[in-house]
DNA sequence: TGTGCATTGCTATTGCCAATAGCATTTTAT
DNA sequence: ATAAAATGCTATTGGCAATAGCAATGCACA
């Protein structure tokens, strides 16, 4: 069987990312969290009071799609909202949210560390520069 | 604003892949194709007569999810099935499918080439080995 | 040779996530 | 004061992965 796809960086990038996401979600399911939950917890932990819109911009999630994400974490008493002005609300971690955040970070750091170690030591320093370059390129929507 | 996520290889991997997929799909929409369509066309082009199941295994798409994918391409007269035995069918490109395949490959190669060039020349040789290592690690479902 | 098991393709359903359009309210800019 | 932008939201759609289960077929082995 010939696989013409595995020679394509973009294809391998996507397969690697999909597999990584699956692993991450499997690990996070121990806490009943999804990767999107965990990323929001981490963002709020580092930026207490930031707006739902701002979080969406950083995570590249549209305003409309932030609604169910925030609602779910609020229902589970992991985050709370406080009015900033008449239309926007600041997000904060609850006590319980801080505990979950801590555990999520532990899980994520463990997976990230093991993934890093799977890359040979001489290539490891080039990992982030390369991924960063790929991200930059594709974020600029290079129409062609 | 502090972004604790951009230091995580897994997160950057996923953002890069998502952005890449969006670009690819945007380019392929010129042909009315999705990335999954294009990958199947490429696989069938290189392995005429392969089975729907085998294609699914190579693409990591489950049998059940191959059905709508194959059906769509059959309806558009890009691929056809021929019975191999009583239960499995071999997939082949039609004449029209070959033409679409050629155009899809051109689009994909162009995007891949431009993406590669966005990585500095000294890092470029390390790209595939690193992505391959990340893929391998995450594919082995490292439970923890 | 026949019996049990695996394979293939399929239906049907569920869940996650992205994308779009539109709305009411509030803030900001001119 | 008025126009424009921002914020949060509803509702809907589409793409794709995952699961369970089914009928038909092929295969291995006693």
**pLDDT, tens digit (0-9, with 9 covering 90-100), for A29-41:** 999 999 999 999 9
Reported as a pLDDT band with limits 50, 70 and 90, residue B141 is: low
Give residue A142's pLDDT.
67
Give residue B64's pLDDT.
97
In this complex, the residue of B14, B24, B50 whose CB is nearest that of residue A20 is B14
CA angle B17, B23, B24 (to 5 degrees): 85
| Contact list, B59 vs chain A (CB under 8 Å) | 5
Give residue B62's pLDDT.
97
CA–CA distance from A21 to each of A18, A114, A128, B10, B14 (Å)? 5, 14, 17, 8, 8
Measured in degrees and rounded to the nearest 5, phi and psi for residue A94 equal -80, 175
Residues A4 and B123 sit within 8 Å (Cβ to Cβ): no
Return d(Cα B135, Cα A16) in angstroms, integer.
4
Distance from CA of A68 to the nearest CA of B (A): 21
B40 CA to D18 C1' in angstroms comes to 20
Q: What percent of chain A has pLDDT over 70?
A: 97
Count CA atoms within 13 Å of residue B143 on its CB side: 0
Give residue A64's pLDDT.
97
Average pLDDT (B114-143) is: 94
Q: Which two tokens stand for residue B58?
A: 């190579």
Q: What percent of chain A has pLDDT over 90?
A: 95
Average pLDDT (B128-140) is: 96
- B residues 41-80 lying closer than 8 A (beta carbon) to A: 42-43, 45-47, 50, 54, 58-60
Reported as a pLDDT band with limits 50, 70 and 90, residue B68 is: very high
Give residue B10's pLDDT.
98
**Cβ <8 Å between A14 and B11:** no
Return d(Cα B48, Cα B94) in angstroms, integer.
11
Is B103's CB less than 7 Å from nucleic acid strand C? no
B122 CA to C15 C1' in angstroms comes to 43
A55 CA to D5 C1' in angstroms comes to 19
Residue in B with minimal Cα distance to A140: B19
Write out the H or E segment, with its range, that includes residue B91: strand B89-93
Return d(Cα B78, Cα B92) in angstroms, integer.
9
Give residue A143's pLDDT.
66
Sequence-ordered list of residues with C-beta below 8 angstroms from that of A47, at least 6 positions apart, any chain: A54, A55, B1, B2
pTM of the model: 0.95
State yes or no: pLDDT of B126 exceeds 90: yes
Residues B125 and A23 sit within 8 Å (Cβ to Cβ): no
State yes or no: pLDDT of B59 exceeds 90: yes
Average pLDDT (A83-93) is: 94
Of B40, B64, B138, B78, the C-alpha closest to A111 is B138
Is A138's CB less than 7 Å from nucleic acid strand C? no
Q: What are the residues facing A91 on neighbouring strands? A: A81
């Amino acid at each position: 069987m010939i696989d013409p796809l595995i020679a394509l960086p973009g294809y391998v990038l996507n397969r690697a990312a999909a597999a990584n996401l699956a692993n991450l979600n499997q690990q996070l399911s121990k806490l009943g969290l999804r990767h999107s939950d965990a990323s929001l917890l981490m963002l709020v932990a580092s930026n207490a009071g930031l707006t739902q819109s701002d979080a969406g911009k950083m995570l590249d999630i549209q305003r409309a799609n932030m609604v169910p994400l925030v609602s779910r974490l609020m229902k589970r008493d992991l985050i709370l909202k406080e009015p900033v002005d008449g239309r926007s609300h600041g997000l904060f971690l609850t006590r319980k949210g801080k505990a979950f955040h801590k555990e999520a970070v532990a899980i994520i750091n463990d997976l990230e560390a093991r993934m890093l170690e799977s890359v040979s030591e001489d290539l490891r320093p080039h990992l982030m520069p390369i991924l960063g370059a790929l991200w930059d390129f594709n974020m600029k929507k290079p129409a062609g």
